[in-house]
Structure formats: structure tokens, C-alpha cells
A and B are shown apart, each in its own frame.
Chain A
């Protein structure tokens, strides 16, 4: 049995507390009136931190940003232009702590969901190497419940107009926007929440039933639980593929409701899959270094590192396929998405590519390096931060536009959800022995050698 080390527990509580304080600071420092918003932008203008921000603030006074269209500005009220622009700026600044919260909440939630997909694949494909890691994966997917509920609550608060992240939820905007009216059959608050509840309910249901069968298999004297788990996993993968794709349209793509991309679901999937695998590797290495998981050997870590390497490249493939097709054809209605990111998000946009592609490509290519634990941990940290930035780049340009910073609310979001994640995952790991007893493949997994 694993016991939650006190230092880790206290560390996770401190992270949560500090994160919470930072988030509160973020929410309280957001402007509540147009005048305050203008003052903030003006002071940022005079501040000397980063020439890029000053330039970004300059942009705010022109009407070049693509998502401004969502606020119905193209409707021809010329004299009201300045006022509606100021209000747009206010909304962007008010969105910032919300977006920081949402990015971090979604990022840690998607790790758990990615691990769940990986786990279901291992079960459905009857992989012989991984059963030793099933308890670790089940521990990580436990975060689906609190993480999913928090994401759902944020979505409910968005529907209740606590923030302006999803423009299509604003009835006034939709009234002036033909495109959004056309999409209202799908993008309407009620159906949106119903869908979210179905997705989350399905994922959590599979997670709970699979965990129950997995534990029951340890005590059973035949393999019926294992076979049932296999069937549930295969069924879940079908459900997951459909719902994950729709979730990415709902929760991420609808932030830019004028824009659409057909492979977006796959792209989000690759991001969550590689983050999930990375976290499995990191948690396994941590537990092994503490003397638990004595049967997990270098070959298991090697396999996980191979997955990290391969899925990192898969993510890049999808990223590039999405980007290059849009860049090449240069159709105005699609290309605004990348123009906003190129103009205002140069640093996060390109550093994400380096962290998610170039770094793992070079570091994890060598077969020997994939067996060195600290190498995998180091690559894992970079990959995880890269994928945080990936979510950041998907959400922020649509919600805060050029008013982005990486500061107190963002760090607070990472700390709070990171602490919660660590606490929840390691707390679940203490509940049951870390090695499955009667899994039909556990002996093969124990002997696994590459």
C-alpha cells in the first residue's frame, strides 16, 4: 500500500492555497467599469515591461482584431463605435482571470481524460506490458470527478453571464450576428449544458465502472470482471471518440464562434493524449523512486517515453495540418484565427511549437535516453508546459485578445489546479495496492522486457 507522503500533501495544500490567493487577486484586480479598463491599458502603455505589450496596447485602439466581429461591431453605428470598443476592451480585461481559471481547469482535466483514453486503449487492445501501471492510471483518472465538475461549473457560470468568454451566449450579440443565428440550433446555452453533462457523465461513468471491475478482478476467482472491463473499454472508446470531438467544438472551438476547423477534435485529442501519457510516466517514475512499484522496470518507462515521443510528433502533425491548410488557402473567414495568434501571441505560439515538437524530438529520439528517468522527467515537464501553452493559445486569443499577460491569475490557476490534481491523484493511489493481483496479463507485464 502506498502512503501519501506528508511533504507532498503539504506541498499540494500550499500550492492550492497560494493559487487560490493569486486567483482572488486576479479577480479583484479586474476592472468593473470602462474607465478602469482604460486606465489599466493606459498604465500598461507607460509601463516599460516588454515592448510587445506596449505594441499590443496600441493594437487595442485600432479595430483590427478578428474576434471584435463577434460583438456586432460591423453593424453600422458609427458614432457608437468608440463606446462599443471601450466596452469590448472592458470585457477582454474582465475575461482575463476567468480565462486563466478556465485554461488551467481544462488543462488538468484534459490530462485525466487523456489518461482515461490511454487506459481504455490498453484494456481494449489487451496490452501485455501495461497492467502494472493500471493502478497508477486509475489514480490519475480519479481527478475526472472534481476536475470535470469544476469545468462544468465554470461553463454554467459562463451561461449565467458571469463572464464574456463565450460570445455566442450573449443574446444581444446573437441578435446582431447572422452567423451566430445560423448556429443557434447547436450553440445555445441549454443544449450546450446538456451536452456537457452527457459527456462528463459518460466519461465519469466509464471511469467508475472500470475501476470497480478492476478492483473486483483482484478478489475474483475467474476472469469475468476482466472480460466485462474489456467490453466496457471498447464501448467507451467509441463513445469517447464522438464525445471528445464534440467537447472540443463546444468547450474550445466555440470560443471563436465564427471560426471552424474539421480536425480540431483530433488536435485537442492529441494534446490531451500526450499530456496524459507524460503524467503517467512522471507519476510512475516518482512512485518507483519512492520504492513503490518495484516490478516496474526501465522497459516500462521506455515504452511510455516512446509514446510521449510518438504522440508529440502526432500532435505536431495535426497542428501543422490544421495550420498549413488554412495558411495555404488563406480564406479570410478561416485565417483570422491564425492572424490573431501571429500578431498578438508570437512568443507563446512559437515557444509552444519548440516545447511540444523540437524538444521531445531531439531529447527522446535516442533509445538509451528513454530509459533514463531524469531525462524522461525533464522532457515531461517541458511537454506539459508546452501543452498548457497550447490550451492557452486556443483559449486566450478568443477571450482576452491582445490584452494577454502571463501573470498572477495564470500562475494562480496552474498552482491551484496543479495542487488539487496532485492531492486528488495521490490520495486515490493510497486507497488500494499499486499492483493488480489477478489481472491475466500481470505476469507478462512483470516480465516485460524490451
Chain B
């Protein structure tokens, strides 16, 4: 379904922050904000929920630790407990200090890589993905706020001019 959206462009992040707060105060739903760089506090101003990616990372780390322990317990203790330079391969605990560097690295490896992959999946990013950019200037020096129109184009236009927009476009957006 195609819907109409209004796009307001700003050329300063402070102006953008004030605009976001004002639009939220007027109870309009902001669909998206495009910025060339992270604007500190924008997520709070937009009322976005906190990310849970740190929690996923913690769980991936636990998984990595488990993988390392199970792997080395099987290889070094269960499957073929050789005497290698007098190291005590009788139980996992007895030889554990030798395994700690691997346990640590596997924890970090799993926590980091799986978290990054989670981030890519969740933000829908991959090679050859078609860029979703309403205006090329938003990657350079402009900020763009996008609001859906529900028969209130005039009202929104005045409001957005009031917030200090430098340019306002109304476009059809296919979704």
C-alpha cells in the first residue's frame, strides 16, 4: 500500500533535537529520522526502546564458553588423554589452566561475532542490499525527519516549518 509521508530536512542536529521533541509533544508519530552521524540523545528524544543487544552478547559468550569446555574436555580428556609433557590429563579441572586461554578467546569470539551478526540481521543489513535513503544529503550534512500523513498535511507542514526545517517535501512512499 502506498502512503504519503512528509519529510522535513534540517541542517543542524540541535534544531533537529528540538524539532523531534516538539513533534512528539504534538503527538505525531515519527516514522524515521535520517542523520549523517549519531546524534547523542536522539533515541531518548524519539522515545525508542533500549537495545537488548548486550543481553544477546552475554548469552552468546556463555555459549562460546560452553563450546570451548565441551570441545576440550572431549578432545583432551575423554577421547585420547595422552601424556603431553607431563600435563595432568586425568580430569578437566586438573588441566584447566592450560585451557583458559582458549576458553577466554572462544567466549570473546562467540560474543563478538554472533552479536555483530545479530545486529546485521536485526537492522536488515547485508551486501547488495538496496540502500533506503530518501535524500542523498542525509549522508553528508542534512538531517531528515519523516512523518506519516493522515489527512493532516497542512497542519504538519506549518508545524515543521515552525521547528526550523530548511526544506519540506511530501512524497508517496511504497512499502
Q: Are A327 and B97 in contact (CB under 8 A)?
A: yes
Q: Are B97 and A323 in contact (CB under 8 A)?
A: yes
Minimum C-beta distance from A315 to chain B (A): 15
Please report the C-alpha to C-alpha distance between residue A323 and residue B98 in the assembled complex, in whole angstroms.
11
The yes or no answer to A339 lying at the interface (CB within 8 A) is no
Against A, the Cβ 8 Å flags (1 = close, 0 = not) of B77-90 are 00000000010000
Q: Are B100 and A324 in contact (CB under 8 A)?
A: yes
Contacts of A51-104 to chain B: CB distance below 8 A: none
The yes or no answer to B58 lying at the interface (CB within 8 A) is yes
Minimum C-beta distance from B13 to chain A (A): 17
Q: Are B54 and A320 in contact (CB under 8 A)?
A: no
Minimum C-beta distance from B24 to chain A (A): 21
The yes or no answer to A367 lying at the interface (CB within 8 A) is yes
Please report the C-alpha to C-alpha distance between residue A297 and residue B151 in the assembled complex, in whole angstroms.
46
Q: Are B97 and A330 in contact (CB under 8 A)?
A: no
Please report the C-alpha to C-alpha distance between residue A327 and residue B98 in the assembled complex, in whole angstroms.
9
Tell whether A365 pairs with B58 under 8 Å between CB atoms, given A320-B100, A323-B97.
yes
Please report the C-alpha to C-alpha distance between residue A167 and residue B58 in the assembled complex, in whole angstroms.
48
Q: Which residues from B are CB-within-8-Å of A324? A: 97-98, 100
Minimum C-beta distance from A259 to chain B (A): 19
The yes or no answer to A406 lying at the interface (CB within 8 A) is no
Q: Are A328 and B97 in contact (CB under 8 A)?
A: yes
For the complex, would chain A's binding face be called helix, strand, loop or mixed by DSSP majority? helix
Please report the C-alpha to C-alpha distance between residue A320 and residue B97 in the assembled complex, in whole angstroms.
8
Q: Are B97 and A367 in contact (CB under 8 A)?
A: no
Minimum C-beta distance from B123 to chain A (A): 21
Please report the C-alpha to C-alpha distance between residue A320 and residue B100 in the assembled complex, in whole angstroms.
9
Against A, the Cβ 8 Å flags (1 = close, 0 = not) of B94-120 are 000110100000000000000000000
Minimum C-beta distance from A210 to chain B (A): 34
Minimum C-beta distance from A362 to chain B (A): 10
Against B, the Cβ 8 Å flags (1 = close, 0 = not) of A330-374 are 100000000000000000000000000000000001010000000
Contacts of A300-330 to chain B: CB distance below 8 A: 320, 323-324, 327-328, 330
Minimum C-beta distance from B98 to chain A (A): 7
Please report the C-alpha to C-alpha distance between residue A365 and residue B111 in the assembled complex, in whole angstroms.
14
Please report the C-alpha to C-alpha distance between residue A365 and residue B98 in the assembled complex, in whole angstroms.
26
Tell whether A367 pairs with B86 under 8 Å between CB atoms, given A324-B97, A327-B97, A328-B98.
no
Minimum C-beta distance from B140 to chain A (A): 29
Please report the C-alpha to C-alpha distance between residue A327 and residue B100 in the assembled complex, in whole angstroms.
13
Q: Which residues from B are CB-within-8-Å of A330? A: 86
Q: Which residues from B are CB-within-8-Å of A320? A: 97, 100
Minimum C-beta distance from A330 to chain B (A): 7
Contacts of A364-396 to chain B: CB distance below 8 A: 365, 367
Against A, the Cβ 8 Å flags (1 = close, 0 = not) of B42-79 are 00000000000010001000000000000000000000
Please report the C-alpha to C-alpha distance between residue A320 and residue B104 in the assembled complex, in whole angstroms.
12
Q: Which residues from A are CB-within-8-Å of B97? A: 320, 323-324, 327-328
Minimum C-beta distance from B97 to chain A (A): 5
Beta-carbon nearest neighbor of B86 in chain A: A330
Minimum C-beta distance from A161 to chain B (A): 39
Q: Which residues from A are CB-within-8-Å of B54? A: 367
Please report the C-alpha to C-alpha distance between residue A327 and residue B93 in the assembled complex, in whole angstroms.
13
Beta-carbon nearest neighbor of B58 in chain A: A365
Please report the C-alpha to C-alpha distance between residue A328 and residue B98 in the assembled complex, in whole angstroms.
7
Q: Which residues from A are CB-within-8-Å of B58? A: 365
Please report the C-alpha to C-alpha distance between residue A365 and residue B97 in the assembled complex, in whole angstroms.
24
Please report the C-alpha to C-alpha distance between residue A330 and residue B85 in the assembled complex, in whole angstroms.
11
Q: Which residues from B are CB-within-8-Å of A328? A: 97-98
Please report the C-alpha to C-alpha distance between residue A67 and residue B98 in the assembled complex, in whole angstroms.
27
Q: Which residues from B are CB-within-8-Å of A327? A: 97
Minimum C-beta distance from B41 to chain A (A): 10
Minimum C-beta distance from B29 to chain A (A): 28
Contacts of B10-52 to chain A: CB distance below 8 A: none
Minimum C-beta distance from B40 to chain A (A): 10
Q: Which residues from B are CB-within-8-Å of A365? A: 58
Against B, the Cβ 8 Å flags (1 = close, 0 = not) of A414-428 are 000000000000000
Minimum C-beta distance from B108 to chain A (A): 12
Please report the C-alpha to C-alpha distance between residue A162 and residue B86 in the assembled complex, in whole angstroms.
44
12 contacts between A and B (CB under 8 A): A320-B97, A320-B100, A323-B97, A324-B97, A324-B98, A324-B100, A327-B97, A328-B97, A328-B98, A330-B86, A365-B58, A367-B54
Q: Across chains A and B, which 9 residue pairs bring their CB atoms closest together, nearest first?
A: A324-B97, A327-B97, A328-B98, A320-B100, A324-B100, A328-B97, A323-B97, A365-B58, A330-B86
- Given A324-B97, A324-B100, 10 more A-B residue pairs with CB atoms under 8 Å apart are A320-B97, A320-B100, A323-B97, A324-B98, A327-B97, A328-B97, A328-B98, A330-B86, A365-B58, A367-B54
